[in-house]
Amino acid sequence: MTQPLAGKVAVVTGSSRGIGRGTAIALGELGATVYITGRSTGDGELTVDRTAQLVDEAGGHGVAVQTDHGDDAQIAALFARVGDDHGQLDILVNNVYKIPDPPAWGGGFWDHPVSIWDDQVGIGLRAHYVAAWHAAPLLFAAGPGGFICNVSSPGGQSYHFSSSYGAGKAGFDRLSADMAIELEPKGIASVTLYPGSVSTEFIVEARGVDALAMDTAQTPLAVGRTAAALATADDLMDRSGTIQWVEDLAVEFNIVDEYGRTPAAYGRRVVA
């Protein structure tokens, strides 16, 4: 496998598990140095340390950084470390998200505690803004060609799960599009990525099925491979400000998941 991202530096927020982990590994497959963030550390399976090992095994270099994205100071420290280590940044993947406990699946907004807003919009939309704010000078230091990949959801266009979830995702889509306008003179792309149904560890456990059996779901690694493909696309700046669907990118870039399957199309897709 060629490594077109060799020498490139990436940050993937919320990458101890799920789409973040899949994206970190996919960037590693293409040779990138990937800073992996999250709260969970140590020898367990779903930790930033384990993801760093998987990135190394994939052919990249993983750097685990314990980070609570609800704490602005910790986000600032993360990017200060990247600056100290490399002086620049090529790729930021804004992915971190906090699933409320218990999850807000169904019911009315009045049925959920007000704190759900901070879970789904704070450790999401706000954390993405703060990460991009700190990343911007490092992206500018690398020069034109940088990339902010914003992992959102079809929930930005239609009802999914809860009112607070939709508000966070719709806000993120708008933020990503508007950042693209402001970044265009710098030659930095901002693209929104829309996965479909994804067989994350949380979903697999909640449904009590093996990821391989979820034929209508995309795997985290497949989603990550589409993000990595975008990072190498010759027309990346032309895509800046747009929503890119995982299923379309998979066809365009001939991407398959770890089981050799083309990522499934999203059954509830909304075409804007």
Instruction: State the catalytic residues.
Output: 165
* C-alpha of 81 from chain center: 20
SS3 260: coil
pTM of the predicted protein model: 0.94
* Domain 9-252 coded CATH 3.40.50.720: yes
Question: Per-residue pLDDT for 1 more than 70?
Answer: no
Q: Which pLDDT band holds residue 119 (cuts at 50, 70, 90)?
A: confident
Question: If you write DSSP's letter for every residue of 127-159 in order, what string do you get?
Answer: HHHHHHHHHHHHHHHH-TT-EEEEE--GGGTS-
The pLDDT tens digits of the residues spanning 101-113 come to: 777 778 899 999 9
Percentage of residues in the chain with pLDDT exceeding 90?
80
- Calculate the average pLDDT of the chain: 93
Which range, of 25-39, 159-173, 234-248, 256-270, averages the lowest pLDDT?
Answer: 256-270
Q: Which pLDDT band holds residue 212 (cuts at 50, 70, 90)?
A: low
Parse the chain into domains and list their residue ranges: 9-252
The pLDDT tens digits of the residues spanning 28-86 come to: 999 999 999 999 999 889 999 999 999 999 999 999 999 999 999 999 999 999 999 99
Is residue 157 a contact partner of residue 272, using CB atoms and an 8 Å limit? yes
The pLDDT tens digits of the residues spanning 8-40 come to: 999 999 999 999 999 999 999 999 999 999 999
Is residue 272 a contact partner of residue 248, using CB atoms and an 8 Å limit? no
Percentage of residues in the chain with pLDDT exceeding 70?
94
Q: Which pLDDT band holds residue 94 (cuts at 50, 70, 90)?
A: very high
Residue 262 in tokens: 């083309």
Q: Determine the average pLDDT of the residues in 185-193.
A: 98
- Cα(182)–Cα(230) distance, integer angstroms: 20
Which range, of 95-99, 183-187, 218-222, 265-269, averages the lowest pLDDT?
Answer: 265-269
21-153-233 Cα angle (round to 5)? 65
Is residue 120 a contact partner of residue 165, using CB atoms and an 8 Å limit? yes
Amino acid at 143: G
- Cα(269)–Cα(262) distance, integer angstroms: 17
| pLDDT at residue 200 in the model | 83
Question: Per-residue pLDDT for 271 more than 60?
Answer: no
Amino acid at 79: F
Question: Per-residue pLDDT for 272 more than 80?
Answer: no
